[in-house]
Chain A
Amino acid sequence: MNAAEKIERRRPRLAIRLVAVLMLTGLGLAILWPSLRDAKRRVLLDATLRELELGLERHRGLEGTLPSDPLLPASELIWLLRQSGALEAAPINPYTGARYGEDPFELDQIWYSPNESGETWTLEALSEDGERVVTSRRSSTGE
C-alpha cells in the first residue's frame, strides 16, 4: 500500500474524529452554558452597581446629601438620580437585560438604603433565587 492509499484509508477516520471533537466541544459548552449566563448576569450587575455608585456620588455633590428614603428599589433610585441630573441615562437592569424604565413591570431586585445620614449607603442585589446577596458600599470617607 503506497502513501496515497494510506491517506485515502485515513480519511473517514479523520472525519469521525472531527465529528467527535465537535460533539465533545458541544458537550463542554452545554455544561458551561448555564453558568456562563450566571456570569453574564453577575458582570452586568457589577456594572449597574458601579453606575449607581457614581450616580450617588454625583447626587451628593449636587444636592449636598444622599437620598434619605430608608429603602428604595433601584428603579425609584434611578428616577431620583435622573431628576437631580446625577445620572444621564438609566443603567441596564441585569435581571432583564433592558434599560431601567423601559418595562413598567420589570424585575427589580436591587435595593438602596442609607446606613447613616449622608455618610454611607448600601446597594443590595438579590439573585434570582432570592438567596445570594451582592452588596456595595461607599462613603464620603472612602470606605
Chain B
Amino acid sequence: MARRVRRPRGSTRVLGLRVYRAAVLIGIFAGIYSMLQAERTRTDRPITLREVRQHAPAASRLTRDARHPGSWQILAEDDALLGRALRTSPLADDVIGYAGPTDTLVILDGQDRIEILALRRSEDTPGHVADVVADAAFWSQWTGRAVDEVVEESLRFDAVSGASKTSRGILRGVQRRLALEARGDDDVSQGLSWTAWDIVLVALAIVGGVLRWLERRLGRWARWVYRALSFLVLAMITGDVLALSLFGAWAENGLPWRETLGVVVLAASALLWPLWTGRSVYCSDVCPLGIAQDAAGHVHRRLGWIPRWQLRPESGLGWMLGMLPGFLLVTAGIAVCLALSLDLANLEAFDVVAWPNARAIAVGLAVVGVAASLFVPKAYCRFGCPTGSLLELVRTPHRGARLRWRDGVATLFLILVWTLGEQRALLESWLREGPW
C-alpha cells in the first residue's frame, strides 16, 4: 500500500512568504540600480584641460580628435600635437573590478604609446582602490607600451596584491577602451576572468548547505572542518567576506559575475539558504566573524569561570541593542539610495579581513565583538551586524513562519526606493533645503 505523504500545515503560507520576501529584496536592489544608473548618466565627467595639465604641463588646449571618436588631441601653445587623452568611462562602465567600475585616464604620446595612466574616479571598494593608487609599480608597468600591445589578450601583467580584482578590472577597462581605439571594436572584456579561488568559493557555498543536511550523519567534526576551511579561505586568503559595502556597490553597479563569480554565488547562497531552509548557513559556518565568535563561546565553555550574561530582549538595553543592526541597515540603505558619500565599510567589522590595511574602526568593532562574545553568546551577530540583519530579512523557517515587522519595514523601503526614483526633483529640493 502506498504511503500517504502528509502535506505540512501552512506550507502555502510559507511558500507565499518566501516568494514575497524574495520579491521585495529583488525589488529594492532593482529600484536602487535603476535610480542610480539614471543619476550616473546625468553626472558624466568629461576630461578637462586642468586634469590633463597635471600630467602634461605643456598642454595648452584640447581639441576633438576626428579620427578617434571620444578622444582628445593635446595641443601645445604653438599647436604642436603632444599626444592624445582618452578615458575608459562610459564605454567600460560595465567592467566591474570587485564592487564597481573605475574611470581611468589614458594619455598617449605622438606614437600611440601609453605615456600616462591615472585613475580618475572609481566606484570600487575605497580600500582596494587606495591600494591600487598607492602601487606605483602597477601603473608604471604600462608606460611605453604600444596600444596594439596592450589590447593583446595574452598580455601578462602584475595585479596589485590584496586588490587583484580591482586592478584586473582597471586593466580590462583600459584594454577595452584601447581596443576601440586600435581596432574599432571593444570585445576584449566580454570574456570571463574567474580564478581558482572563484571555484573554491562556489564549492564552499554548495558544501555549506549540503553539510547542514548531513550534519547528523557526519557528526560535528565535519562542520568544524568546514568552518576552519571557510575561515582560512575568506579571512586569510581571498578576503571575500559579504558586507554592506559590497551589497551597496552591487545595487549601484550591477552584479560582477564576469569578474567575481565566486563572491556572487556565495552571496546568492547566503540569501537563498535562509530563504528556503530557514537556516543561515553563511552567518554560522562561513562568515569569519561568526566562526570567531563561536570559537570564543567554545573557549568560554572550556574555561568555565568566565561569567555568562544573557541580554534579554525584554530588557531595555537588550531590546535597543537588538534593534541596532536593523537601524544600521536602514541607515546604509538610505545612504545608498541618496548616493551619499558615506563609506558603508565603516558601519561594520568586516573590513578587518583586509588586515594590515583594515580601517581602525573595523578592527575595533571586530575585537570588541569577539571579546564580547566570550560573555554574551554571538554578541556581534546579534547586536551589531547589519549584514546579518539583511540576511535575516529573508530567513523563512519551515515552521512558524509569519509576517514580521521587518517585512513591513522592507516593504516601506521598497516603496520609498521606487518613489524616489520617480521623484528626483523632489529629492533634490529636499536635499537642497534640508537643515544639514
CB-based contact A43/B428 at 8 Å: yes
CB-based contact A24/B432 at 8 Å: no
Range, interface on chain A: 35 or more
A37 within 8 A of B: yes
Tell me which residues across on chain B come within 8 A of A113, comparing CB atoms. Answer: 48-50
Closest Cβ of chain A to B353, distance in Å, is 22
**B339 closest partner in A (C-beta):** A39
Number of interface residues of B (CB under 8 A): 35
A137 within 8 A of B: yes
| A-B pairs under 8 A by CB, number | 92
CB-based contact B432/A47 at 8 Å: yes
Closest Cβ of chain A to B124, distance in Å, is 16
Tell me which residues across on chain A come within 8 A of B61, comparing CB atoms. Answer: 115-116
Q: Which of A14-22, A60-68, A100-108 contacts B (4 or more CB under 8 A)?
A: A14-22
Tell me which residues across on chain B come within 8 A of A27, comparing CB atoms. Answer: 327
Tell me which residues across on chain A come within 8 A of B323, comparing CB atoms. Answer: 20-21, 24
Q: A20-B323, A24-B324, A25-B327 are known contacts. Are A116 and B340 too (CB-CB below 8 A)?
A: no
Q: A16-B316, A32-B342, A33-B436 are known contacts. Are A135 and B45 too (CB-CB below 8 A)?
A: yes
Main secondary structure of the interface of A (DSSP, over half): helix
Complex: how many Å from CA A39 to CA B320? Answer: 30
Closest Cβ of chain A to B78, distance in Å, is 15
Complex: how many Å from CA A115 to CA B46? Answer: 12
CB contact between A17 and one of B49, B319, B436 (< 8 Å): that residue: B319
Complex: how many Å from CA A55 to CA B331? Answer: 39
Q: A33-B436, A40-B436 are known contacts. Are A122 and B49 too (CB-CB below 8 A)?
A: yes
Complex: how many Å from CA A122 to CA B431? Answer: 26
Q: A24-B323, A24-B327, A25-B327 are known contacts. Are A38 and B316 too (CB-CB below 8 A)?
A: no
CB contact between B62 and one of A20, A115, A134 (< 8 Å): that residue: A115
B41 within 8 A of A: no
Tell me which residues across on chain A come within 8 A of B141, comparing CB atoms. Answer: none
CB contact between A32 and one of B45, B62, B340 (< 8 Å): that residue: B340
CB-based contact B316/A111 at 8 Å: no
Tell me which residues across on chain B come within 8 A of A33, comparing CB atoms. Answer: 436
CB contact between B335 and one of A16, A23, A35 (< 8 Å): that residue: A35
Complex: how many Å from CA A126 to CA B314? Answer: 51
B43 within 8 A of A: yes
Scoring A residues 1 to 44 as 1 if CB is less than 8 Å from chain B, else 0, what string do you get?
A: 00000000000010011011101110110011111111110011
**A31 closest partner in B (C-beta):** B331
Tell me which residues across on chain B come within 8 A of A34, comparing CB atoms. Answer: 342
Complex: how many Å from CA A116 to CA B334? Answer: 42
Q: A39-B340, A115-B62 are known contacts. Are A134 and B45 too (CB-CB below 8 A)?
A: yes
CB-based contact A13/B45 at 8 Å: no
**A16 closest partner in B (C-beta):** B316
B51 within 8 A of A: yes
Complex: how many Å from CA A23 to CA B317? Answer: 12
> CB within 8 Å of A: which of B415-436?
428, 431-432, 434, 436
Complex: how many Å from CA A111 to CA B50? Answer: 10
Scoring B residues 33 to 50 as 1 if CB is less than 8 Å from chain A, else 0, what string do you get?
A: 000000000010110111
CB-based contact A31/B342 at 8 Å: yes
Complex: how many Å from CA A111 to CA B421? Answer: 31
Complex: how many Å from CA A113 to CA B51? Answer: 12
A46 within 8 A of B: yes
Closest Cβ of chain B to A77, distance in Å, is 15
Tell me which residues across on chain B come within 8 A of A19, comparing CB atoms. Answer: 316
CB-based contact A35/B63 at 8 Å: no
CB-based contact B50/A38 at 8 Å: no
Closest Cβ of chain B to A63, distance in Å, is 21
CB contact between B49 and one of A16, A37, A115 (< 8 Å): that residue: A115
> CB within 8 Å of A: which of B39-98?
43, 45-46, 48-51, 61-64
A-B contact pairs, 25 of them (CB 8 A): A13-B316, A16-B316, A17-B320, A28-B327, A28-B330, A28-B334, A32-B335, A35-B340, A35-B341, A36-B338, A37-B436, A39-B341, A40-B431, A40-B432, A44-B432, A111-B50, A113-B48, A113-B49, A113-B50, A115-B49, A115-B62, A116-B63, A116-B64, A122-B46, A134-B45
Known: A16-B319, A28-B327. 13 other contacts (CB 8 A): A16-B316, A17-B319, A21-B323, A32-B331, A32-B342, A35-B340, A36-B340, A47-B432, A111-B50, A115-B63, A122-B48, A124-B48, A134-B45
Residues on B lying within 8 angstroms of A by beta carbon are 43, 45-46, 48-51, 61-64, 121, 314, 316, 319-320, 323-324, 327-328, 330-331, 334-335, 338-342, 347, 428, 431-432, 434, 436
Q: Which 3 A-B pairs have the closest CB atoms?
A: A20-B320, A35-B340, A16-B316
